[in-house]
């Protein structure tokens, strides 16, 4: 499933490029004219007619189980696919099914790892492949990639999560490539990464670090303490992860509750007089990060006359 934030962002991006998008529209009629094609669609707002030079019909994917002899050998299946257990075994001993015919992850890389797991089982090897964690990529411009928990899924399960985004517009490599559109979004649950969703340059490549992090149960600290080369796109993943704890370097800190400082007096803090350095230090600790922009903000506050 693609995170709704990405679908909204992509829709806006495509519209800015001049594309017209009709959602919840059912094509009712296709007509070939002398110069182009005419498509009639039913939408919530009524009938819409669209004319175009070409028409691409994308009907989705489904398992193809006809003509492979399933009935003859007694393998159970229905319109959603062949029934298998967690080891991809069918109801008939020694017959396995992998990939699209199972109706599960209809992706080539998922099918490949299904096959590896089956072969390892046949050879009595223990397979540790996490078949439930599969990166999903959409190869368009900008690229989209997703793995793990989405924000909507978390809300549906009533999970407590922490979410952070880092924009590619603040990433040096993305700016150098001229492809700064999009962002990296990460979701944390119970102290560990649970979901990564990317829209932007080389998203299909960057998603694998997120997949590894989720699969191995890595924490924000695990990633923060791993040096990433500069300038690279993967720095955006680190920054997004650090943003979960408000520690990202190239991201404006999350807004906190405003505190009125009119007529501020140093002794009101901890009931004792404090030096300027003490106040600067407290500001740094409050944000859990020694960032230059926080120091500058603290100095500006100190320079004010109360």
Q: pLDDT tens digit string along 79-109? A: 999 999 999 999 999 999 999 999 999 999 9
* Per-residue pLDDT, 60: 82
Confidence grade of residue 288 (pLDDT, cut at 50, 70, 90): very low
Q: Which structural domain, as residue segments, surrounds residue 200?
A: 136-245
Q: Is residue 189 part of a domain?
A: yes
Question: 261 pLDDT exceeds 90?
Answer: no
- Phi first, then psi, for residue 244 (nearest 5°) are -60, -30
Question: 302 pLDDT exceeds 80?
Answer: no
Question: 273 pLDDT exceeds 80?
Answer: no
Q: Is residue 64 part of a domain?
A: no
In whole numbers, what is the pLDDT of the chain averaged over residues?
86
Q: Are 114 and 141 contained in the same domain?
A: no
DSSP the chain: ---HHHHHHHHHHHHHTT-----S-EEEEEEE-SSSEEEEEEETTEEEEEEES------------TTS-HHHHT--EETTEE---TT-B-SSTT-B--GGGGTS---HHHHHHHHHHHHHHHTTPPP---TT---EEE-SSS-EEEEE--HHHHHHTT--EEEEEEEGGG-HHHHHHT----EEEEEEETTEEEEEEEESTTHHHHHHHHHHHHHTT-BHHHHHTS---SS-TTHHHHHHHHGGGT--SSSPPPP------TT--GGGSTTS---HHHHHHHHHHHHTS--HHHHHHHHHHHHS--
Question: 210 pLDDT exceeds 60?
Answer: yes
Minimum mean pLDDT among 54-63, 200-209, 277-286: which range? Answer: 277-286
Confidence grade of residue 176 (pLDDT, cut at 50, 70, 90): very high
Q: Are 283 and 212 contained in the same domain?
A: no
Q: Are 185 and 117 contained in the same domain?
A: no
Q: Is residue 67 part of a domain?
A: no
Q: Are 187 and 239 contained in the same domain?
A: yes
- Interval 9-66: pLDDT, tens: 999 999 999 999 998 999 899 999 988 999 999 999 999 999 999 999 887 888 999 9
Total domains, the chain: 4
Higher pLDDT pick, 41 / 306? 41
109 belongs to the catalytic site:
no
Q: Could you tell me the end-to-end alpha-carbon distance of the chain, in angstroms, rounded to an integer? A: 53
Question: 117 pLDDT exceeds 90?
Answer: yes
Question: 250 pLDDT exceeds 70?
Answer: yes
Q: Is residue 66 part of a domain?
A: no
Q: Are 270 and 238 contained in the same domain?
A: no
Q: Is residue 167 part of a domain?
A: yes
Question: 140 pLDDT exceeds 80?
Answer: yes
* Per-residue pLDDT, 306: 40
Predicted model pTM? 0.79
Q: Are 140 and 115 contained in the same domain?
A: no
Q: What distance in Å separates the CA atoms of residue 206 and residue 213, rounded to the nearest whole number?
A: 12
Q: Are 232 and 185 contained in the same domain?
A: yes
| Residue 195, Cβ density class (10 Å: 0-12 exposed, 13-18 middle, ≥19 buried) | buried
Q: What distance in Å separates the CA atoms of residue 210 and residue 218, rounded to the nearest whole number?
A: 9
Q: Are 278 and 224 contained in the same domain?
A: no
Q: Are 185 and 221 contained in the same domain?
A: yes
Q: Using alpha carbons, list the distances in angstroms from residue 130 to 2, 110, 168, 169, 189.
A: 20, 10, 30, 33, 18
* Residue of 230, 245, 250, 287 marked active site: 230
Q: Are 146 and 226 contained in the same domain?
A: yes
């Amino acid at each position: 499933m693609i995170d709704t934030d990405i679908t909204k962002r992509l829709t806006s991006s495509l519209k800015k490029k001049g594309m017209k998008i009709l959602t919840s529209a059912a094509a009712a009629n296709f007509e070939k004219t002398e110069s182009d094609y005419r498509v009639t669609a039913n939408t919530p707002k009524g009938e819409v007619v669209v004319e175009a030079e070409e028409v691409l019909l994308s009907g989705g994917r489904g398992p193809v189980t006809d003509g492979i002899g399933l009935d003859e050998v007694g393998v159970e299946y229905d319109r959603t696919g062949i029934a298998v257990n967690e080891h991809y075994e069918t109801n008939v001993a020694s017959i396995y099914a992998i990939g699209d015919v199972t109706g599960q992850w209809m992706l080539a890389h998922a099918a490949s790892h299904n096959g590896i797991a089956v072969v390892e089982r046949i050879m009595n090897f223990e397979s540790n492949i996490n078949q439930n964690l599969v990166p999903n990529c959409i190869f368009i411009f900008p690229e989209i990639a997703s793995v793990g928990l989405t924000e909507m899924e978390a809300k549906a399960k009533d999970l407590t999560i922490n979410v952070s985004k880092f924009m590619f517009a603040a990433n040096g490599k993305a700016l150098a490539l001229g492809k700064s559109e999009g962002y990296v979004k990460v979701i944390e649950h119970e102290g560990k990464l649970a979901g990564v969703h990317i829209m932007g340059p080389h998203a299909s490549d960057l998603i694998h670090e997120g997949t590894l992090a989720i699969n191995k149960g890595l924490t924000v600290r695990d990633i923060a303490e791993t040096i990433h080369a500069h300038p690279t796109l993967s720095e955006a993943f680190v920054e997004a992860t650090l943003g979960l704890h408000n520690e990202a370097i190239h991201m404006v800190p999350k807004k906190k509750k405003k505190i009125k400082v009119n007529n501020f007096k140093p002794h009101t803090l901890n009931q004792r007089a404090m030096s300027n350095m003490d106040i600067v230090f407290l500001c740094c600790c409050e944000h859990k990060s020694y960032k230059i922009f926080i120091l500058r903000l603290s100095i500006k506050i100190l320079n004010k006359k109360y």
